[in-house]
């Protein structure tokens, strides 16, 4: 699609809410007014309507020790009871909770009654290993039902879990286990990846024996998934099938305080020690359930919901495990990749289960664009009625492709902004309420307050001016700190603009309609000759060129301009790389779209970009290449050889 046809198509589209959709939508326009009129009262109502409390709370918010919040003070609840037992007690035990699709084609259908039994057995098993309230459990597992059972079993016991993405190295695993002082690790022998088994327990063994310090790990519980050969410590290691399967399938869920820690999730910073972001029980569950209901417009009696994230990331915590299960959803859990055994695998699953709500990442959408429209066209996706986007800003062309080829030109798209730290969605359209703007997360959801500040910390509403996104009021699912390091929490999130504002670390701007456009991390905002340029904006400009499928932009040190724009580009199938001619065409295209100041110093045509297995582009590695230095840690990449190919082929365009 050319630039002119893109803007023309956007102009012609009617993206106002469909009245028929609005009539049944969970979100309403009145919610904005209600939340603005009584912030705490709004959240108290959400907590009481969406969560079952063993003991009601007496104070909605205690902000007296800011920036350390306490929500729903005095209340007691159990997350696993809310996600499992209460649905069974309400007579919905026969409702499917999880449709599991294994990478090898194996399937399981798990009802809420099944889930209650499996979670109870897992909780009894963990208790038999010595896990009790407050103990930490590390979870290093693929996308299989036992992972969900384990997380809920931990919640049932009041034992905070630390889920560690299955792509992390033994060293990264060691750091996280040690920091959380995990007493037990739950893992698998291996995991399936594109038809081949890859070891997992071996990394746990290496992590436990890493360095000279004694490991806090007392037991390792191992699910047999791939029949990968494993080393075995008879004193420490226990097979899941030996221990869990023989446990009683009933377990009393003990209520915990609303502020009891539910989980720790480590963010992998580019430098330094990973930050253990921790979330507590009542506030987190309230906002996860609320946002899943109103942003995804989940109707548990009729919808089949699918979030394609990995449970190792916060999206998987909030929108696979806790939000949807608290709401009694029927959902798909898929172990594999989008292209195994073929590139239509996702759409095959949508057709099979009649998925009605799909929540995925822009990187996945752009990959599907690269593969071609003929693939989704082979499948019946008429069941889809809501689409969601998460992880990074979605460029308008990917938004339009997603709506047309996945959503049948009718499904609203909710482009959601939030973070590991926020715990749940913060900025997003509400389907059935918002007139959509492709590429924009638009405005804070009801109950959330945000501003954009200038360099001096002053709020502004001027269109197209780039500033810093901040949150101005506490919210229920906010992080309660960095595990074991309260000073780092204050310094990282509450110092840039003083204790009044939570600084998200993201740049943003308003458009002329007042919509918020996220521009990526501030460390992804370059300063070129005194001009602040967003990498996301330049990437979007590159992808708007008809030859470009995907782009990643970084700022590299430059003696003349301070920083220079370096772009890494994947061409679409069918597009021809004419070498220097193509490079110059793309450089000029960016100059035309944004201005000469944004013209990349270098454009490199590549076959692949360095991505984690969750699809996140590792821009810091591209920055290493652009600045001609040793490439950093590549252990979290889906394919570490990509960086060697990029380094070998590095070329530049120049004026």
Contact 424, 291 (CB under 8 A): yes
Give me Rg for the CA atoms of the chain.
24
The reply to whether CATH 3.40.50.620 applies to domain 529-648 is no
Q: How confident is the model at residue 7 (pLDDT cuts 50, 70, 90)?
A: low
What's the pLDDT score for residue 268?
Answer: 56
pLDDT tens digits, 598-648: 899 999 999 889 887 667 788 888 888 888 878 777 766 777 778 887 877
* Residue 416 half-sphere exposure toward CB, CA atoms < 13 A: 31
Answer whether the bond into residue 341 is a cis peptide, omega within 30°: yes
DSSP state of 393: P
- pLDDT at site 272: 56
Whether 451-523 shares its CATH topology with 529-648 is answered no
Calculate what percentage of the chain has a pLDDT beyond 90: 74
pLDDT value for 531 = 64
The arithmetic mean of pLDDT across residues 22-49, rounded, is 98
pLDDT at 257: 98
Query: Lowest-confidence range among 130-139, 205-214, 366-375?
Result: 205-214
Which pLDDT value is given to residue 573? 85
Peptide bond into 67 cis (omega under 30): yes
Statement: residue 234 has pLDDT above 70: yes
How far apart CA 292 and CA 305 sit, in angstroms, is 10
Task: Choose the weakest-confidence range: 98-107, 211-220, 374-383.
Answer: 211-220
Residue-level pLDDT at 1:
53
Residue scoring higher pLDDT (381 or 391): 381
Q: How far is CA 317 from CA 24, 35, 144, in A?
A: 27, 26, 14
Give the model's confidence band at 557: pLDDT under 50 very low, under 70 low, under 90 confident, else very high. confident
498 in Cβ contact with 504 (< 8 Å): no
Q: Give the model's confidence band at 369: pLDDT under 50 very low, under 70 low, under 90 confident, else very high.
A: very high
Of 132, 133, 216, 219, nearest to 175 by C-alpha is 216
**Mean pLDDT computed over 141-149:** 97
Q: Map residue 289 onto helix, strand or coil.
A: helix
Tally of CB atoms within 10 A around 498: 9
User: Is the CB of residue 165 less than 8 Å from the CB of residue 325?
Assistant: no
pLDDT at 193 over 70: yes
Tell me the torsion sign for CA atoms 639, 644, 649, 652. Answer: positive
Against a cut of 0.75, is the pTM above it?
yes
Q: Is the pLDDT of residue 11 over 80?
A: no
Report d(CA 649, CA 540) in Å as an integer.
23
Question: Which residues share a beta bridge with 265?
Answer: 277
Two tokens, residue 132: 């009790």
**Does residue 384 contact residue 400 with C-beta atoms inside 8 Å?**
no
| pLDDT in the model for residue 614 | 64
On whether the 451-523 domain is CATH 2.30.38.10, my answer is yes
pLDDT tens-digit map of 572-597:
988 899 999 999 999 999 888 777 78
Residue 640 phi/psi, 5-degree rounding, is -70, -20
What is residue 141's predicted lDDT score, i.e. its pLDDT?
96
Q: What is the mean pLDDT of residues 8-19?
A: 80
Arithmetic mean of pLDDT, 543-557: 90
Alpha-carbon gap, residue 465 to 160, rounded angstroms: 42
8 A C-beta contact, residue 613 and residue 651: no
Distance CA 597, CA 292 (A): 41
Contact (CB, 8 A) for 511 and 537: no
pLDDT in tens, 98-126: 999 999 999 999 999 999 999 999 999 99
Closest among 516, 555, 348, 491 to 426, alpha carbons compared: 516
Q: Could you state, in order of their start, the residue ranges of all structural domains in the chain?
A: 451-523, 529-648
Report the mean per-residue pLDDT for the chain: 91
Instruction: Find where tokens 């580009």 sit.
Output: 569
């Amino acid at each position: 699609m050319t630039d002119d046809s893109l803007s023309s198509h956007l102009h012609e589209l009617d993206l106002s809410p469909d009245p028929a959709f609005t009539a049944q939508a969970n979100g309403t326009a009145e919610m904005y007014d209600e939340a603005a009129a009584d912030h705490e009262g709004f959240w108290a109502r959400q907590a009481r309507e969406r969560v079952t409390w063993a003991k009601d709370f007496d104070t909605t918010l205690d902000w007296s020790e800011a920036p350390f919040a306490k929500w729903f003070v005095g209340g007691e609840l159990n997350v696993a009871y809310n996600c499992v037992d209460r649905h069974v007690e309400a007579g919905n035990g026969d409702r499917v909770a999880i449709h599991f699709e294994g990478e090898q084609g194996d399937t399981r259908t798990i009802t809420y009654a099944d889930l209650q039994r499996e979670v109870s057995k897992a909780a009894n098993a963990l208790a038999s290993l010595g896990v009790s309230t407050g103990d930490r459990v590390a979870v290093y597992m693929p996308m299989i039902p036992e992972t969900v059972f384990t997380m809920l079993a931990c919640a049932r016991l009041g034992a905070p879990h630390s889920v560690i993405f299955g792509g992390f190295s033994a060293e990264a695993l060691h750091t996280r286990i040690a920091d959380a002082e995990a007493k037990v690790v739950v893992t698998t022998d291996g995991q399936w990846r594109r038809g081949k088994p890859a070891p997992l327990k071996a990394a746990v063994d290496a992590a436990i024996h890493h360095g000279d310090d004694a490991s806090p790990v007392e037991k390792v519980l191992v699910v047999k998934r791939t029949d990968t050969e494993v080393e075995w410590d008879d004193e420490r290691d226990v097979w899941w099938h030996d221990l869990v399967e023989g446990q009683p399938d009933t377990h009393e869920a003990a209520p915990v305080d609303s502020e009891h820690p539910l989980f720790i999730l480590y963010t992998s910073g580019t430098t330094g020690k990973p930050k253990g972001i921790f979330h507590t029980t009542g506030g987190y569950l309230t906002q996860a359930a609320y946002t899943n209901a109103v942003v995804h417009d989940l109707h548990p009696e009729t919808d089949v919901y699918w979030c394609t994230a990995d449970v190792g990331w916060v999206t998987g915590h909030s929108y696979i495990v806790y939000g949807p299960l608290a709401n009694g959803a029927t959902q798909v859990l898929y172990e594999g990749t989008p292209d195994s055994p073929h590139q239509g695998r996702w759409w095959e699953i949508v057709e099979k289960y009649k998925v009605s709500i799909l929540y995925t990442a822009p990187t996945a959408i752009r990959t599907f664009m690269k593969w071609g429209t003929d693939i989704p066209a082979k499948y019946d996706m008429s069941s889809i009625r809501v689409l969601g986007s998460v992880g990074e800003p979605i460029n308008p062309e990917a938004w339009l492709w997603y709506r047309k080829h996945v959503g049948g030109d009718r499904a609203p798209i909710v482009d959601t902004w939030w973070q590991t730290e926020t715990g749940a969605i913060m900025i997003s359209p509400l389907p059935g309420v918002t007139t959509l703007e492709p590429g924009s997360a638009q405005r804070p959801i009801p109950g959330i307050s945000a501003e954009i500040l200038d360099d001096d910390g002053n709020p502004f509403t001027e269109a197209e001016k780039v500033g810093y996104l901040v949150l101005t009021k506490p919210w229920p699912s906010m992080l309660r700190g960095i595990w074991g390091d309260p000073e780092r929490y204050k310094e990282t999130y509450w110092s840039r603009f003083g204790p009044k504002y939570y600084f998200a670390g993201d740049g943003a701007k308003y458009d002329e309609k007042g919509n918020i456009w996220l521009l990526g991390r501030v460390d992804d905002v370059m300063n070129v000759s005194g001009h602040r340029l967003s990498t996301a904006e330049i990437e979007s400009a590159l992808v708007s060129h008809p030859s470009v499928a995907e782009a990643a932009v970084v700022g590299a040190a430059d003696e003349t301009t301070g920083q220079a724009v370096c772009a890494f580009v994947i061409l679409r199938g069918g597009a021809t790389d004419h070498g220097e001619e193509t490079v110059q065409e793309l450089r000029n295209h960016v100059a035309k779209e944004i201005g000469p100041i944004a013209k990349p110093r270098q454009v490199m045509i590549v076959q692949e970009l360095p991505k984690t297995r969750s699809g996140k582009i590792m821009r810091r590695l591209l920055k290493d290449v652009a600045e001609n230095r040793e490439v950093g840690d590549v252990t979290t990449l889906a394919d570490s050889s990509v960086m060697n190919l990029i380094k070998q082929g590095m070329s530049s365009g120049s004026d």
